[in-house]
């Protein structure tokens, strides 16, 4: 049982790291632009007024610019846990396989008793 506990503990730590990385580290608003920086190194830039240019490019009001994460550990963990299929789908498939294996064992056991 210890190996499963260690795996669950590691997954929990990984999810906490991902969640912590998605928290704000700073908020800056000036000249019609709001920049939200995250602990993982990425940013969300929102244009708050019309006719605003950001880094020399004009954007309409309400436009959102997303920059990706720069923390290599966050990127690695996100790739592991946010992949396709989702964790819920992976768990469901594993559960179905486990249930099928149990049913197959019961069927084999019942058929060997009858024969």
Instruction: Tell whether the model's pLDDT for residue 74 goes beyond 70.
Output: yes
Please state the rounded mean pLDDT for residues 64-91: 84
| Other CB atoms within 10 Å distance of the CB of residue 59 | 20
Q: What phi and psi, each to the nearest 5 degrees, are found at residue 36?
A: -105, 120
Residues 12-49: tens digit of each pLDDT: 999 899 999 999 999 999 989 999 999 999 999 999 99
Give CA–CA dist 64/41, Å, rounded.
17
Give CA–CA dist 62/51, Å, rounded.
11
Instruction: Tell whether the model's pLDDT for residue 106 goes beyond 80.
Output: no
Give DSSP secondary structure letters for the chain: -HHHHHHHHHHHHHHHHHHHHTSEEEEEEETTEEEEEETTS-EEEEE-STTEEETTEEE-TT-EEEE----HHHHHHHHHHS-SS-HHHHHHHHHHHHHHHHHHHHHHHHHHHH-
Q: What is residue 16's predicted lDDT score, i.e. its pLDDT?
A: 92
Q: What is residue 108's predicted lDDT score, i.e. its pLDDT?
A: 76
Q: What is residue 28's predicted lDDT score, i.e. its pLDDT?
A: 94
* Residue predicted with more confidence, 22 or 82: 22
pTM: 0.65
């Amino acid at each position: 049982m210890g190996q499963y506990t260690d795996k669950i503990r590691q997954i929990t730590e990984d999810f906490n790291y991902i969640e912590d990385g998605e928290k704000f580290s700073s908020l800056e608003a000036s000249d019609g632009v709001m920049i939200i920086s995250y602990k993982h190194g990425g940013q969300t830039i929102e244009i708050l007024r019309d006719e605003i240019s950001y880094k020399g490019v004009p954007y309409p009001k309400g436009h959102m610019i997303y920059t990706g994460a720069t923390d290599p550990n966050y990127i690695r963990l996100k790739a592991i846990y946010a992949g396709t299929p989702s964790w819920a789908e992976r768990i469901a498939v594993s559960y179905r396989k486990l249930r099928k294996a149990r049913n197959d064992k019961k069927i084999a056991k019942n058929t060997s008793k009858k024969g």
